[in-house]
């Protein structure tokens, strides 16, 4: 069994993954940023966007196939999902004109075939956060490479996240990060962990 945590940049995915891993005693698997196309992509986004996304797609497929092959008593918490790679980030590249319609349609065909044959998460946890909350948390953690992220970019991603999560038909739990600040509020943190545990038990842990 695995559960997956999804949400925009700065929503708290990695922190919640750490919390759940410790609370449940499950293995944590974090998003890997290594990609042999990443340097080329930042040099020429239109040329390398398709290659970048296809590599991430394959990497995510191998990750989930590895989880599916684990013994029944091994459980995993995953930071970020294959779904948002396509429905949010690849789609955003397409909307921005950095991924051509031809390449985007080919990529989405590959994505559709891939996810149809993958193990699905027992629970998807979506961290919903407004742009001001995202900006505040990004500034709080102080990662240099995130300092130049624009609010309009975060807003565009938020819109795509909302469109996708509204159509996701598997078990899901939505956490309103604006109202439930599990990063700084111990009571909110405990309440969310309890909610998640109850839903996991209902999913058949």
Q: What is the CATH number of the domain that holds 146?
A: 3.40.50.300
Number of domains in the chain: 1
Confidence (pLDDT) at 35: 86
Residue for token digits 């009571």? 187
Confidence (pLDDT) at 6: 97
For the chain, give the number of residues.
205
**At 28, is the secondary structure helix, strand, or coil?**
strand
Confidence (pLDDT) at 83: 97
Cβ neighbourhood burial of 87 (10 Å; 0-12, 13-18, 19+): buried
Q: What are phi and psi of 78, to 5 degrees?
A: -110, 130
Which tokens hold the place of 204?
Answer: 């058949």
Confidence (pLDDT) at 32: 74
Task: Write out the catalytic residue numbers.
Answer: 79
**138 near 149, Cβ under 8 Å?**
yes
Confidence (pLDDT) at 160: 98
Q: What is the DSSP string of 129-142?
A: --HHHHHHHHHHHT
CA distance 47 to 159: 26
Residues of the chain with pLDDT under 70: 33, 142-147, 203-205
% of the chain with per-residue pLDDT over 70: 95
The long-range contacts involving 19-22, CB below 8 angstroms and separated by at least 24 positions, are 19/182, 19/189, 19/193, 20/77, 20/193, 20/196, 21/77
Rg (CA), the chain: 17
State which residues form the domain around 169.
Answer: 2-202
């Amino acid at each position: 069994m695995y559960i997956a945590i999804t949400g925009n940049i700065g929503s708290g995915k990695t922190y919640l993954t750490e919390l759940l891993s410790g609370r449940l005693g499950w293995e944590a698997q974090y998003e890997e940023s290594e990609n042999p196309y990443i340097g080329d992509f930042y040099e020429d986004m239109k040329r390398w966007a398709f290659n970048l996304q296809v590599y991430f797609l394959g990497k995510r497929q191998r990750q989930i196939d590895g989880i599916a092959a684990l013994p029944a008593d091994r459980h995993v918490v995953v930071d970020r999902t294959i779904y948002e790679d396509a429905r949010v980030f690849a789609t955003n590249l397409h909307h921005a004109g950095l991924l051509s319609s031809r390449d985007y349609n080919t990529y989405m065909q590959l994505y559709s075939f891939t996810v149809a044959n993958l193990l699905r998460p027992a629970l998807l946890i979506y961290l919903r956060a407004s742009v001001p909350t995202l900006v505040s948390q990004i500034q709080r953690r102080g990662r240099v490479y995130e300092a130049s992220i624009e609010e309009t970019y975060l807003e565009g991603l938020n819109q795509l996240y909302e469109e996708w999560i509204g159509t996701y038909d598997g078990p899901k739990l939505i956490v309103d990060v604006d109202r439930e600040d599990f990063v700084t509020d111990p009571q909110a943190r405990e309440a969310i962990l309890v909610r998640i545990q109850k839903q996991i038990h209902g999913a058949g842990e």
